[in-house]
Structure 1
Amino acid sequence: MRSPEHVNQTQSMSMTWMFRYLVPVKGRMALLLVLLLITTGFQLVNPQIVQRFINTAAARGAIASLLNLAAMYLVIAVCNQLVTVAVSYLGNDVAWRATNQLRANLLQHCLRLDMRFHNLKTPGEMIERIDGDVTNMSNFFAMFIVQIVGSFILLAGILVVMFFENWVIATVMAGFTALSIAVMVFIRDLGVTASQAERQASASLFGLIEERIAGIEDVQANGAVGYVMNRFHRAMHTVFQTGRRAWMLRVIPWNATVIMFTFAVTAVLLVGLHLYLTGKVSLGALYLYFQYTQMLNDPIEQLGNQMQDFQRAKSGMRRSRELLSLQSEIQEGTADSLPDGPLHVVFDHVNFSYNPAERVLNDIHFELRPGECLGIVGRTGSGKSSISRLLLRLYNVDSGTIRVGGTDIRDLKFETMYRRVGMVTQDVQLFDGTLRDNLTLFNHSVADEEILKTTETLGLRPWIDALPDGLDTHLAAGGASLSAGEAQLFALTRVFLTKPSLVILDEPSSRLDPATEATLQAAVDQLLEHCTGIVIAHRLSTLERVDKIMVLRHGNIVEFGDRATLAADSTSYFASLLKSDAREEFA
């Protein structure tokens, strides 16, 4: 059990972390504070005008005086409304500027987390964590200065004015105010934990929806719609239950203030009525007391409402802090240079596992000299793709060392590594943007002439020329507009344009017809002329021009050597593959 001092310290640190996002918008906050003071002044003045109007009318004063007071009231009311609109606009502006920076920080942090983290999270859940949680914080930020700070300013103004008007009624109002604020502060965190559970349930629901929509083909083809709907209804039931409990706990502060306000209004009215009946105050003063009491309820009620938003915001803040506190096991190095030209690659007794219970790679040890090309073959699950993931630092090795260009990859900066290493995978990701942006990955320094020359070399130029706007054609995210062959050539073009010194081809021709495979193979041959290469293949035909062969089985190297030597050795495993129907074995 944590001590109260520890809880208070944690809350203080949380609030400090939360409000530091407001520092960049402190100028707008200062302007907002000035506007709040102005609108508070307007709200305090108008009841004074009405009081004078009532007293003047009761004394049968001059019509001109009454008209002047009415005109003054109208002008102040209009001005107050204009300032209120400005306050609302500026408050939302401050909130979104502050929380958009938090969204950016969360997204950037998530993009830097390792694959072990992302393998456990669905995209739908991450969207809810990055946007949904922060939206709750944004709603709180938007009204925090406007309603909480503004409410305290208005409360202080009302009480000060009332002490000058009548200290007895002012004392009653001050007592009610102090008690209300004390109750809200005391129970301010009552619904935070429940709100966290509500946000987690919502994130799980979004994760379920995203996962099932992404696999819609399998869902429909296997008649799993009923199963998906059952999971959906169960997730919705969890959201409903957690949401109901969180809401019931969050509204307690508001209900408490409503009850206390009822007693406060009754007390003020009774005292005011007594003073009026005994002739100690005028009818206008009685109205003033009543009006200020009603005005007192508005900021108190706003504070109660903000307590609900505060609890939602704090639950989002805790979840955001939790996410930002996660550290990737992939730590960036400091080395920022690699040798020019094709890179030297060494795996030095590397061991790796995705989980401790099952080793994926066992004592992988090989060397690839600059300019050489390695072909890797093996059954599904033998560890082929794991080698490429380790080489790209998507995971850390359990033991051993991987060196590129003579440098341990753990010592390299990410930018240095990825600037010199390229990879072509089976699945090609398209982004929402122009064809040019997708080919260059939004690198505007690449000239159109270079793009067109590369695409012509790879056989993509006719496809580009057939598009309505050429390189300016807008592509939708997902890649549905590309055939399998076009997608592979598309990915190869990206790698070509980066001019890598080491390229990894992960089964690039697995989904291609023979004609497209021949086009792709010609392009690959051109690419590998200027860099070191690693080709992971199911089809042995794609390994005809590699220099070395590695055969993997259950994470172990069962054979490694020169391709020509292994092919000529009738006792080698690779030679037996060449003689057998390799396509069927590795399909």
Structure 2
Amino acid sequence: MSRADRKNRDRGTVTRAHERPDYAKNVHHGGGPGGGRVQEKAVNFGPSLRRLVGELAPHRWAILFVIVMGSAGVAFNVYSPRLLGRATNVVYEGFIGRMLPAGLTKEQAIAALEAAGKSDQAQMISALDVVPGQGIDFTRLAHILLACLTLYVLASVLQFLQGYILNRVVQHSVYSMRDQVSSKLDRLPLSYFDAQPRGELLSRITNDIDNIQQTLQQTLTQMLNAVLQLAGVLIMMLTVSPRLTIIALCAIPVSFVVSVSIGRVAQKRFVGMWTATGVLNGQVEEAFTGHSLVKVFGRRREVEAEFATTNGELYKQSFGAQAVSALLMPINFFVGNLTYVAVAVVGGLRVASGQMLLGDVTSFIQYSRMFTQPITQVASMANLLQSGVASAERVFEVLDAAEQTPDREGSLELPVKGHVEFDHVEFSYRPDQPLIKDLSLDVRPGQQIAIVGPTGAGKTTMVNLLERFYDVDGGAIRIDGVDINDVPRAQLRDQLGMVLQDTWLFGGSVRDNIAYGKPGATDEEIAEAAKQAYVDRFVQTLPAGYDTVINDEGTNISAGEKQLLTIARAFISDPSILILDEATSSVDTRTEALIQKAMARLRVGRTSFVIAHRLSTIRDADTILVMEHGDIVEQGNHDELIAAEGAYWRLYQAQFAGGQEAA
């Protein structure tokens, strides 16, 4: 049994991998810890991107305000080159004016140039606003530059506000997504967690959501500004020169084809990168939490080899994704430079022929740069966007997973007496492999029911059905005559107490771990539960007593002490029905005898189900159920079953007679 399986069992889930739903189709086996690997799925980029953008919908008014501010900011930025073009014309006109003889009018100067055979210069001057003999109009130039500076300041302020508000929108949206995932996990059946490597699931919840946040934060503002800038620059370019605009637009189809072609290749690499990241996390999580087991069995080299293989796959996918997507920017820069050269050459010829002003050409050259800049930005963000959408789809897979059946509005009548009925119950983890078939059992209040049988017989499954970790396929389970399917899971589990073979403690004090069974428990109740479970005697030897902090893995106390703490937790919860799954398997013989006495007191007036492999611990059970292949093949008390010399007798002989022969 793997460490992950044992922990799942501690949470009440089933530990048999071959019985898990969809186990075979979701994972394949590998050697050593972390052998399960989720198969890759192709990302449907368009729908996933639209759904990711849809997560921003609750903030539509803020986004609309951002768009308005962004439009104003981009308009100010886009209009600024036109003003600078006018400033260039003022300087150029002043330079030309000083070269012409003073005292002449503009028309006279043009006529003189034509008479001298300089018709090209005459045509160029005719398009300028010059006064012969007059230099640069610095007052007019200052007004233009001041207006341009004002536009730049306003654009900067609006862009800051735009980024600030959009950042808040992104953070709230990612917060909401984390909240959705957290709520979703509470609604997922335990069969989902059985079929998912925990490291892979944790990677989706942490790494992938962080990557989504980074993608939205870095791309939304730039993408919005890029679209607005493209529209604004295109309008201004058309007003300056439609002919040059056509030349600049030739870059768009080339950039589009390049971006789409490279993006498709990069997308597959990013899917592989994040899948390999999840697998690597799963391997690291299992290898380090089970490091003692790895060392004991001498599997360090195998674990290192498996890690190296997955790490190599992650390197291969990551390098491939970044290398392919990195081609976008230089290619688009090259296309943009070709456009720049074409605009400069054609614009220069038109200035020389007097068909355009020098300031218009200089402003158009700036517009051509501004036009290719957002295309290049979008291309450079393609790798980040592809990565973010790949992560979004992995998170959406969790959000779209099938949920457990909704709770109904029924309730148990309190106090619960503990009358438990299994009425023709049928259940299987996989439709093609029936496990429990037509199981019927009537447990009276206060009875102790022991369940024995070989591994895989369905013992843990039976109590998992009672806890509604899984729902029955047929028949019904009733408590005090009420079908548990009609009772909300939380209310049902409030009446049930479980002590499992594999302990589960969280990082916190001894006091907190005991009080976990009863939120708000007083110190007196905690101390009394500790005494009843014989925890108090070893807690007094700890450095800080009940305030001693247990680490996440509980390695600073012994296995037996951890088991005692879980039993104390069951004491303080004061359940109506007890479920004990080899609860004393991790304690020594003397402690086991004490726990048996404590359990006997705890069981008084309560119905209890005891799953046991050591038959000596269940001699006093009211009824012993012997299970094989999901069926109850024998039932009765210890003496009756021994006298029958059936399945129970064979188990008893295997434990005790075999032990004596070996001795």
TM-score range, shorter chain: 0.7 to 0.9
Structure 2 counterpart of 1:113, from 171, 178, 188: 188
Give distance in 1, aligned partners of 2:159 and 2:377.
Answer: 15
Amino acid at match of 2:286: E
Structure-to-structure mapping, 1:204-353, within 5 angstroms = 204-247=279-322, 250=325, 254=329, 257-328=332-403, 330-340=404-414, 341-353=416-428
Amino acid at match of 2:192: F
Amino acid at match of 1:560: Q
- The two structures, once aligned, show a CA RMSD in angstroms of 3.8
C-alpha displacement at 1:22, in angstroms?
Answer: 0.9
More displaced, 137-146 or 575-584? 575-584
- The TM-score, its normalising length taken from structure 2, stands at 0.75
Structure-to-structure mapping, 1:36-55, within 5 angstroms = 36-48=70-82, 50-55=84-89
Give distance in 2, aligned partners of 1:296 and 1:402.
Answer: 70
Q: 1:163 to 1:440 in 2, by over 3 A?
A: farther
Structure-to-structure mapping, 1:416-427, within 5 angstroms = 416-427=491-502
In structure 2, the residue matched to 1:412 is 487
C-alpha displacement at 1:376, in angstroms?
Answer: 2.0
Amino acid at match of 2:366: Q
CA contact (8 A) 1:377 1:552 kept: yes
Structure 2 counterpart of 1:535, from 610, 629, 632: 610
Aligned length: 576
Secondary structure of the corresponding residue to residue 381 of structure 2: helix
Give distance in 1, aligned partners of 2:650 and 2:298.
Answer: 42
In structure 2, the residue matched to 1:23 is 57
In structure 2, the residue matched to 1:499 is 574
Amino acid at match of 2:305: N
Q: 1:405 to 1:183 in 2, by over 3 A?
A: farther
Secondary structure of the corresponding residue to residue 421 of structure 2: strand
Q: Give the unaligned 5+ runs of structure 1.
A: 1-9
C-alpha displacement at 1:578, in angstroms?
Answer: 7.1
How many percent identity over aligned positions?
A: 28
CA deviation vs aligned residue, 1:345-403 (integer Å, no higher than 9, x gap): 12234444445676544543321112212122334443322222222223344544333
Give distance in 1, aligned partners of 2:518 and 2:74.
Answer: 52
C-alpha displacement at 1:146, in angstroms?
Answer: 0.2
Structure-to-structure mapping, 1:149-164, within 5 angstroms = 149-164=224-239
Structure 2 counterpart of 1:431, from 506, 509, 512: 506
Structure 2 counterpart of 1:521, from 596, 602, 605: 596
C-alpha displacement at 1:425, in angstroms?
Answer: 0.9
Amino acid at match of 2:503: V
Q: 1:240 to 1:150 in 2, by over 3 A?
A: same
CA contact (8 A) 1:371 1:532 kept: yes
Q: 1:581 to 1:311 in 2, by over 3 A?
A: closer
CA deviation vs aligned residue, 1:276-308 (integer Å, no higher than 9, x gap): 333444444333222222222221112112333
More displaced, 169-178 or 371-380? 169-178
CA contact (8 A) 1:349 1:363 kept: yes
Q: 1:464 to 1:287 in 2, by over 3 A?
A: farther
Secondary structure of the corresponding residue to residue 368 of structure 2: helix
CA contact (8 A) 1:373 1:547 kept: yes
Q: 1:170 to 1:342 in 2, by over 3 A?
A: same
C-alpha displacement at 1:149, in angstroms?
Answer: 1.4
Give distance in 1, aligned partners of 2:221 and 2:538.
Answer: 56
Q: 1:167 to 1:555 in 2, by over 3 A?
A: closer
Q: 1:13 to 1:573 in 2, by over 3 A?
A: closer
Secondary structure of the corresponding residue to residue 402 of structure 1: strand
More displaced, 532-541 or 28-37? 28-37
Structure 2 counterpart of 1:33, from 57, 64, 67: 67
Give distance in 2, aligned partners of 1:492 and 1:56.
Answer: 90
Instruction: Say yes or no: does 1:485 pair with 2:560.
Output: yes
CA deviation vs aligned residue, 1:460-489 (integer Å, no higher than 9, x gap): 346666767776665432222332233223
Q: Give the unaligned 5+ runs of structure 2.
A: 1-43, 95-134
Amino acid at match of 2:200: E
Amino acid at match of 2:315: F
In structure 1, the residue matched to 2:16 is none
CA contact (8 A) 1:371 1:531 kept: yes
In structure 1, the residue matched to 2:215 is 140
In structure 2, the residue matched to 1:367 is 442
Give distance in 1, aligned partners of 2:472 and 2:459.
Answer: 15
Amino acid at match of 1:19: V
Q: 1:585 to 1:505 in 2, by over 3 A?
A: farther
CA contact (8 A) 1:551 1:557 kept: yes
- Greater C-alpha Rg: 2
- The TM-score, its normalising length taken from structure 1, stands at 0.84
CA deviation vs aligned residue, 1:190-231 (integer Å, no higher than 9, x gap): 544443333223322222222322322222222222222222
In structure 1, the residue matched to 2:100 is none
Q: 1:250 to 1:570 in 2, by over 3 A?
A: same
CA contact (8 A) 1:464 1:470 kept: yes
Give distance in 1, aligned partners of 2:65 and 2:548.
Answer: 45
CA contact (8 A) 1:538 1:583 kept: no
Give distance in 2, aligned partners of 1:353 and 1:263.
Answer: 67
In structure 2, the residue matched to 1:169 is 244
CA contact (8 A) 2:321 2:383 kept: no
Q: 1:248 to 1:576 in 2, by over 3 A?
A: closer
CA contact (8 A) 1:374 1:549 kept: yes
CA contact (8 A) 2:532 2:568 kept: no
C-alpha displacement at 1:320, in angstroms?
Answer: 3.1
Give distance in 2, aligned partners of 1:277 and 1:525.
Answer: 106
Secondary structure of the corresponding residue to residue 393 of structure 1: coil
Amino acid at match of 2:566: A
Q: 1:498 to 1:336 in 2, by over 3 A?
A: farther
Secondary structure of the corresponding residue to residue 459 of structure 1: coil
Give distance in 1, aligned partners of 2:518 and 2:163.
Answer: 40
C-alpha displacement at 1:271, in angstroms?
Answer: 2.3
CA contact (8 A) 1:191 1:250 kept: yes
CA deviation vs aligned residue, 1:522-580 (integer Å, no higher than 9, x gap): 4323332242111112334433553222233454434312457557x585766787798
C-alpha displacement at 1:314, in angstroms?
Answer: 2.9
CA contact (8 A) 2:560 2:586 kept: yes
Amino acid at match of 1:26: R
